[in-house]
Amino acid sequence: MADSKFFLTPAPITLRDIAKKSGATLIGNGDQTINDVAPLDTAKDDELSFLDNIKYKGHFAKTKAGACFIHPDMQSLAPKGVNLLLTPKPYKAYAQTAQIFYPDPKPEASISPHAIIHPDALIGKNCVIEAGAIIKSNASIADGCWIEENAVIGQGVKLGEQVRIGVNATLSHCEIGAHSRIYTGARIGQDGFGFAIDPSGFVKVPQLGRVIIAEHVEIGANTTIDRGAGPDTTIGQGTWIDNLVQIGHNVKIGKGCIIVSQVGISGSTVIGDYVALGGQVGVAGHLNIGTGAQVAAQSGIMRDIPAGESQMGYPAMPMKQFMKQVAYLKRLIKNNKSVD
Amino acid sequence: MADSKFFLTPAPITLRDIAKKSGATLIGNGDQTINDVAPLDTAKDDELSFLDNIKYKGHFAKTKAGACFIHPDMQSLAPKGVNLLLTPKPYKAYAQTAQIFYPDPKPEASISPHAIIHPDALIGKNCVIEAGAIIKSNASIADGCWIEENAVIGQGVKLGEQVRIGVNATLSHCEIGAHSRIYTGARIGQDGFGFAIDPSGFVKVPQLGRVIIAEHVEIGANTTIDRGAGPDTTIGQGTWIDNLVQIGHNVKIGKGCIIVSQVGISGSTVIGDYVALGGQVGVAGHLNIGTGAQVAAQSGIMRDIPAGESQMGYPAMPMKQFMKQVAYLKRLIKNNKSVD
Amino acid sequence: MADSKFFLTPAPITLRDIAKKSGATLIGNGDQTINDVAPLDTAKDDELSFLDNIKYKGHFAKTKAGACFIHPDMQSLAPKGVNLLLTPKPYKAYAQTAQIFYPDPKPEASISPHAIIHPDALIGKNCVIEAGAIIKSNASIADGCWIEENAVIGQGVKLGEQVRIGVNATLSHCEIGAHSRIYTGARIGQDGFGFAIDPSGFVKVPQLGRVIIAEHVEIGANTTIDRGAGPDTTIGQGTWIDNLVQIGHNVKIGKGCIIVSQVGISGSTVIGDYVALGGQVGVAGHLNIGTGAQVAAQSGIMRDIPAGESQMGYPAMPMKQFMKQVAYLKRLIKNNKSVD
């Protein structure tokens, strides 16, 4: 059970209702009441769990959970007494159901007397603005936004409805679409790393663009997104960006992308829709990464990637080629074939 | 045109004046008035652009810009009707001219009633100190500094003239030279990662040095620079450091260096002047990186690098050797030469 | 001598006392008074230094230090006139002695009138709470804690005795053990990167766990630690984590580990005790890294690592194998053996 210091105690739901809301097929007792969600290895008989990663099938075989979302193919692994909720997408069904038990928290609308709001800022209805938050002139905050403690919203910044800005985050020169969330300590809209090299010192290039973030985007903790140099830096709808990611000026990221922690994307690179970049991937500047491309963690991308291609390596190459190379080198060393 | 929510509308300038101030040779109409700067693909006939990266010559061929800085060698690619500003350094000329259109913004001198300034701090003339900024005892802030919201300037910290400290940045145990800029969320002067290993637990080594940053330095968003353990950590004049960079204790960086985003430099390493480190490069501790060395993105530096050498790889090696190795491996796999 | 703007002037100690407190064997004059500690190359005749890294034996040979901790094996390298403090662990002895000269600084207990503390928060005795710090409802702060400027302690967060929270740091959904220290700008307890992938958009998985940090832990500047998805994210006793590290949800780290700057650890990975991860190492999710494993900087860990094993490479492999591979490739290219 989630720690009540941090989470509200959820209301119970019957398995019948869970099956109905998730679209899963229930094999078991629809009248049974479920009080909470929990991982397979700690769930009790009034709690709901799920099996998604096959690595945890051992936990599933021994689970004491009252019910479990699983793929129909896994049904034979089920221990006795567990109610099964069959679905082709157990993790998605779990996510949706957990959201019912634990709806997104949000304080009641209120503006802290310790927030500092410029008289020329526009604040919508039902916003939460916490202590120490600073909202500068001509910022425009739509209905239902939540600005957390010590966050700073720069002059002219525009937030869509239901946007949440985390503690100590910093926004300038940007627009954020509805339902997007910026996590703690993220820095959005500062000048990009733009300069002309000259023997007498670098000459700063004024950075005249913005950061335009679409709807339903998530930007992780301490991530940095520089504003464009002239064109804008843009992040497409529904894209999720993890913690400590760096996104350079003029970068364009499509919709539905997954950018894992500590990725760095250099200036002016264009990333298509539904691209997945693994943790610590580096992408050089002025490249095109095609729609649906997937890049394994820590890869170094120095060339364009065609749509749909999976790559890995440093420099990055098609995944199969990289795997072949790794295996080949291993054999080479093992057999210690002389090259002298 | 830059978004007027974020940027002041620039005053128009004639091409004659632009040519004079930038030193470029004008081929076209000196009386024409330019109202703004813009990228090649969106510039209108009263706007100024530039061609620097040959990759964008297609945009140049179709540009509607009123005028364009280009290298004399590119003159033949010019579309009809564009006034040309010939210069061997188009990007530098553009940067300088864009600074005329868009001078560095700075609010009028003022100290927010919501800033918290210790009575023993020294504050120079014409400073801007924003709401939520905290300046501790014996800090010394020279004339013309700009301390942004929620930044914290620690006890005894010394800022030269015209220094700008970004929102939510944190300074302690440091001195910052005139005209330097610390971006949002940077952390400067905290204890380095210094401890003696012992079976009963690590023994902390008191970190007794400072961070000394010279003039005209830029330190990017969320970058961290630890203070020295005994000697100081130092950053030389005119060096630019990007976002999310880590600089360990006792590191010495020369002047005019470029340190791209997410680089990590381990303790006590000495980096010469005019060194360029690409994004995500890692440098081991106690090394010497010679003046003018250049290191490609993501490389892992485990040994000293001689002055002027270009390196790449993990571990890093001379650039040519790395390229040869990459090509060789590719052929090896392609030909699938048996090693068994 | 440490800059008096930042450090208190230390009280002098005799060499006899230093030898006694550190357990070192003094060869020299026990009556001599030592006024400070300093690096080998700048130490004066009333200052104490140490030789630990053999790389600096040249500095040792020329040192003007009044006394020096060294390993007995190094005794023959000693320059004339330096008092020697022989110990098998010179760096540890130096660390302990430097702590006597420079005890951990801490302001007198006080709560700033500019701190914002919820009436339902519990604040222990002798705490320091600085200006701009925000402590939310039901947070519990034990005796002797030090909460620095603009730090935000979320609802229900629990701090043990003598915990120090750095400037601008952010805590939620977590418990921190006694004597631990969280550096400036660290983000602890935000939601992990948890979602189910679906063509209609990602479905957020409520993150219902916490971050549980044991005693004597250090968490570096701008480091991010996500809370668990259901189980907790946990950090064991005495583990030191450097700057800009990312720790994903559900990760379990044992005691006495060293996690160097910019490491990324993906969700649900379990790391044993006394593990050392070099800078910029990446660890994939759902792995087991055995007790005492050591991983060289920038390595990419894609598989479990057995206890005690040293690894390096991308993908990571046993250290010897990696070194062999690097050397083999070098020879291969040098001899330019045809593969066509």
**For A117-135, what is the mean pLDDT?**
98
For B38, the closest chain A residue by CA position comes to A230
Q: What pLDDT, on a 0 to 100 scale, did the predictor assign at position A337? A: 56
Q: Flag whether pLDDT at A218 surpasses 80.
A: yes
Q: Where are the alpha helices (DSSP H) in chain C?
A: 15-22, 57-61, 90-101, 319-335
Q: Flag whether pLDDT at A76 surpasses 50.
A: yes
For A219, the closest chain C residue by CA position comes to C193
Among A95, A183, A280, select the one facing C203 at the smallest CB separation: A95
Q: Which two tokens stand for residue C50?
A: 């140490």
Which of B287, A188, B251, B116 shows the shortest CA–CA distance to C133? B116
pLDDT tens by residue, chain C, 340 residues? 789 999 999 999 999 999 999 999 999 999 999 999 998 999 999 999 999 988 888 999 999 999 999 999 999 899 988 999 999 999 999 999 999 999 988 899 999 999 999 999 999 999 999 999 999 999 999 999 999 999 999 999 999 999 999 999 999 999 999 999 999 999 999 999 999 988 788 999 999 999 999 999 999 999 999 999 989 999 999 999 999 999 999 999 999 999 999 999 999 999 999 999 999 999 999 999 999 999 999 999 999 999 999 999 999 999 999 999 999 888 887 776 555 4
Contacts of A118 in chain B (CB under 8 A): none
Cα-flanking dihedrals φ and ψ of residue B129, to 5°?
A: -125, 115
Phi-psi group of A33: left, alpha or beta (phi > 0 → left; psi -120 to 50 → alpha; rest → beta) = beta
Whether omega before A105 lies within 30 degrees of 0, making that bond cis, reads no
CA distances for A256 relative to A215, A270, A273, B278, angstroms: 11, 14, 6, 28
List pLDDT tens digits, range A316-327.
999 999 999 999
Contact B85, B70 (CB under 8 A): yes
List pLDDT tens digits, range A165-174.
999 999 999 9
- pTM passes above 0.80: yes
**For B42-50, what is the mean pLDDT?**
95
pLDDT tier, A331 (very low <50, low <70, confident <90, very high otherwise): confident
**Do C222 and B187 make contact, defined as CB atoms within 8 angstroms?**
yes
**Do C335 and A333 make contact, defined as CB atoms within 8 angstroms?**
no
Distance CA C26, CA C17 (A): 10
Among A150, A317, A335, select the one facing B339 at the smallest CB separation: A335
Task: Assess whether B286 carries a catalytic annotation.
Answer: no
Among A92, A184, A280, select the one facing C190 at the smallest CB separation: A184
Average pLDDT, chain B: 95
Q: What pLDDT, on a 0 to 100 scale, did the predictor assign at position A336? A: 65
Q: What pLDDT, on a 0 to 100 scale, did the predictor assign at position C4? A: 93
Contact A156, A141 (CB under 8 A): no
**For B233-242, what is the mean pLDDT?**
98
- Point out the residues of C that are catalytic: 249
Give the CA diameter of chain B: 78
CA atoms within 13 A on the CB side of B283: 38
**For B26-54, what is the mean pLDDT?**
94
Among C92, C242, C244, select the one facing B198 at the smallest CB separation: C92
For chain A, percent of residues with pLDDT exceeding 90 = 89
Q: What pLDDT, on a 0 to 100 scale, did the predictor assign at position B336? A: 65
Q: What pLDDT, on a 0 to 100 scale, did the predictor assign at position A161? A: 98
List pLDDT tens digits, range B7-37.
999 999 999 999 999 999 999 999 999 999 9
List pLDDT tens digits, range B264-301.
999 999 999 999 999 999 999 999 999 999 999 999 99
Query: How many Å lie between the alpha carbon of B108 and the closest alpha carbon of chain C?
Result: 25
Among A55, A216, A279, select the one facing C201 at the smallest CB separation: A216
CA distances for A134 relative to A189, A221, B131, C222, angstroms: 16, 19, 8, 21
Query: How many Å lie between the alpha carbon of C179 and the closest alpha carbon of chain A?
Result: 22
Which of A262, A150, C169 shows the shortest CA–CA distance to B170? C169
Q: Flag whether pLDDT at B340 surpasses 50.
A: no
Contacts of C89 in chain B (CB under 8 A): 196, 198
For A340, the closest chain C residue by CA position comes to C335
Which of A254, A165, A184 shows the shortest CA–CA distance to A212? A254
**For A149-167, what is the mean pLDDT?**
98
What length is written for chain B? 340
Residue that the structure tokens 């540890």 belong to: C92
Whether omega before C88 lies within 30 degrees of 0, making that bond cis, reads no
Query: How many Å lie between the alpha carbon of C328 and the closest alpha carbon of chain A?
Result: 7
| The one-letter amino acid at A278 | G
**Do C150 and B152 make contact, defined as CB atoms within 8 angstroms?**
yes
Q: What pLDDT, on a 0 to 100 scale, did the predictor assign at position B232? A: 96
Contacts of A176 in chain B (CB under 8 A): none
What ipTM was predicted for this assembly?
A: 0.95
**Do B149 and A172 make contact, defined as CB atoms within 8 angstroms?**
no
**Do C102 and B206 make contact, defined as CB atoms within 8 angstroms?**
yes
Contacts of C311 in chain B (CB under 8 A): none
Q: What pLDDT, on a 0 to 100 scale, did the predictor assign at position C340? A: 47
- Sheet order of strands, B300-301 included: B116-117, B134-135, B152-153, B170-171, B187-188, B224-225, B246-247, B264-265, B282-283, B300-301
Long-range contacts of B262-265 (CB under 8 A, 24+ apart): B262/A246, B262/A262, B262/A264, B262/A282, B262/C262, B264/C244, B264/C261, B264/C262, B264/C279, B264/C280
- Pick the catalytic residue from B173, B179, B216, B249: B249
**Do A167 and C152 make contact, defined as CB atoms within 8 angstroms?**
yes
Contacts of A224 in chain B (CB under 8 A): 185, 220-222, 243-244, 261
Q: Flag whether pLDDT at B262 surpasses 60.
A: yes
**Do A333 and C321 make contact, defined as CB atoms within 8 angstroms?**
yes
Q: Flag whether pLDDT at A62 surpasses 90.
A: yes
Q: What pLDDT, on a 0 to 100 scale, did the predictor assign at position A340? A: 47
Q: Flag whether pLDDT at B55 surpasses 90.
A: no
List pLDDT tens digits, range A261-273.
999 999 999 999 9
Residue that the structure tokens 């952390």 belong to: B187
